[in-house]
Chain A
Amino acid sequence: MLTIAGTQFSSRLFVGTGKFASSREMKEAVEASGSQMVTVALRRVDLNNPHDDIMQALDRTKIHFLPNTSGARNAEEAIRLAKLARVASGTNWLKLEVTPDPRTLLPDPVDTLKATEQLVKDGFIVLPYINADPILALRLQDAGAAAVMPLGSPIGTNQGIMTAMQVEIIIQQARVPVVVDAGIGAPSHAARAMEMGADAVLVNTAIAVAGDPVRMAGAFRAAVEAGREAYEAGLGKPSKQASASSPEEGMLTPDLDFIQD
């Protein structure tokens, strides 16, 4: 079972709430995904209004609510937004997004670290969205981040895990859960991230803009479960040699006659 900051989740699929045609469709898709962690952009939702479409659509007794700071361009804005969110929503969980470039929405590593340090001190449970930079991931872990959320490829690109090599290093090294976020365009991408050993994935666009978002949510659910199952079952990794039991071509086997006993 996935545990983040002491809270357990039986689903390893996190979903976003943006880009859906209606809040009813969003609600149905979230239910079909089986997700227990749903991220909501603070700028999209009126936290003070109990009749807000998004807020009403989510059953917060079953679903963990993860406000995000989407739109924040620097640490200062993100921190301000986070504090407003905490007061209004009653949760201290936060997906930290600091994206100064409105074109690519790539995260700013310097201000993300700065904001994480401050928000952790202020009692937030911080899940920072980052580029797939292993050292940054470790620095954030050391600063008290509850998980790290490296991107598979730039948000909204549907390109899949283009950062696989870096994500693998993060998974190998991190003590906190690793949630692959952004760029996951198809269930096969999600399955791959899970097979690599990611603790969870976050999917939004690929579900929200699918022909049938509810069915697509179910497809992602199945893919995440299959990928995790394969990882836990011990996946046979691809090998470069047909068989190591025969002498490798072009490689001399050292003379071991010096070994006496």
Chain B
Amino acid sequence: MFTVPDFAHLQQWIIRSTEDDVRRALDREHVDIHDLAALLSPRAEKYLPQMAARSSRITLQRFGHVTQLYAPLYLSNLCVNRCAYCGFSAGNRIPRRTLTLNEAEQEAMILHERGFQHILLVTGEAPKAAGVDYLEELALRLRDRFAALSIEVQPLEQAEYERLFRAGVTAVAVYQETYDRAIYQQVHLAGRKCDYDYRLDTPARAAAAGMREIGIGSLLGLADWRAEGLALALHLQWLRKQFWRTSFAISFPRLRPAAGEFQPLAPVSEKNLSQLIFALRLFDHNVGLLLSTREEERFRNGMIGLGPTRYSAGSCTAPGGYSQPDIEGEQFSVGDHRNLAEVSDALIAKGFDPVYKDWDKEFQVFNLESLSS
């Protein structure tokens, strides 16, 4: 099992980096974990343009002039957890709702009509209302209409991920929120999510189940982002060693205003976020990097081609929000309100091809024989 080094140790590691370390790291064809520590350090800040240039070159070489697009589909905002930062936290007084399978299908079809081929199914943690049976049934209903289905739901067991994979789910996103154990305990006040180690082991369970892509990430704003970056890289490195058949992606969710009015414990500026994205791209040339509608239009446009490979678009974070745009009960308020066509146009204007379909359901069609094995 993956274990995270002590957070203070990670911070020390980064802080000790000298400007020479940064320059050496920028010179390297392959940035290792020590170089990454330097690139995440305050000393690297004045080299941001060089980091951006390098990150852009690597991204172009590996992924080309394309950006993938997807939309989240919020299925339920019920949650058994009390997380200080989250709009869905059990303690918040918001209208609660779990879409019926028919309602969920209707929402999905709206996204389909808008042109989306890749959707991310999202729930809070409410296994009774939106458990594996529910997700499996929904995936079976949607699989023929979408090229790819991802999930961002409560941590599951490996056998449950296997069921969902066979039902057509391609990818799993599960973010540690923070790798800093002390802060983790501080912001997760009640519920199953309080178990740091179970969550930390979740990407490995999903990968072991055969999922094609695993998304990891930290919720930026909880703990020192530099050490978060290093911990993320260590986690990624470990996962790659264990699961060489699996693709990986990293998300960079920055805390957004949400019900509960939680204020970031460790604010992360756009400059910080950029440094984190560039540094991780230099560290891992192949990892998918996601920039969601948490970020504003200006920032997302500016970042096109510099490192990120996948954008969400036209997102609503409340269950039922695509058929009823003024609905309440969102997880957080988004920063970029453009629809799919507008985001696509911005990509095209920068010389990038917006890619809607980059997978096919046929990859995950199983015959009875393989189901029983």
Contacts and interface: CB of A to CB of B under 8 A. Distances in A.
Interface of A: 138, 173, 175, 234, 236-237, 239-241, 243-245, 247-248, 251-254, 256, 258-261
B324 to A, nearest CB: 33
A197 B269 CA distance: 38
Contacts of A243: 23, 27
Interface string B32-50: 0010000000000001111
Interface stretch (B111-119, B191-199, B201-209, B297-305): B297-305
A239 B28 CA distance: 6
Contact of B52 (A138, A173, A245, A253): A253
A245 B53 contact: no
A256 B307 CA distance: 13
B271 interface: yes
Contacts of A245: 23, 26, 47, 50
Nearest to A259: B270
Interface of B: 23-24, 26-30, 34, 47-50, 52-54, 56-57, 240-242, 244, 269-271, 274, 298-299, 301-303, 306
Q: Chain B binding site: helix, strand, loop or mixed by DSSP?
A: helix
30 contacts: A138-B244, A173-B240, A173-B241, A175-B242, A236-B24, A239-B27, A239-B28, A244-B23, A244-B47, A244-B54, A245-B50, A248-B50, A248-B53, A252-B53, A253-B49, A253-B50, A254-B52, A254-B53, A256-B48, A256-B49, A256-B52, A256-B302, A258-B299, A258-B301, A258-B303, A259-B270, A259-B302, A260-B299, A261-B269, A261-B270
A261 B271 contact: yes
A256 B52 CA distance: 8
A137 to B, nearest CB: 10
A196 to B, nearest CB: 12
Contacts of B241: 173, 175
B89 to A, nearest CB: 27
Nearest to A246: B50
Contacts of B52: 253-254, 256
Contacts of A234: 34
A241 B244 contact: no
Contacts of A253: 49-50, 52-53
B209 to A, nearest CB: 16
A173 B50 contact: no
B183 to A, nearest CB: 23
A240 B24 contact: no
Nearest to A139: B244
Nearest to A255: B302
B22 to A, nearest CB: 8
Given A251-B53, A253-B50, A244 B27 contact: yes
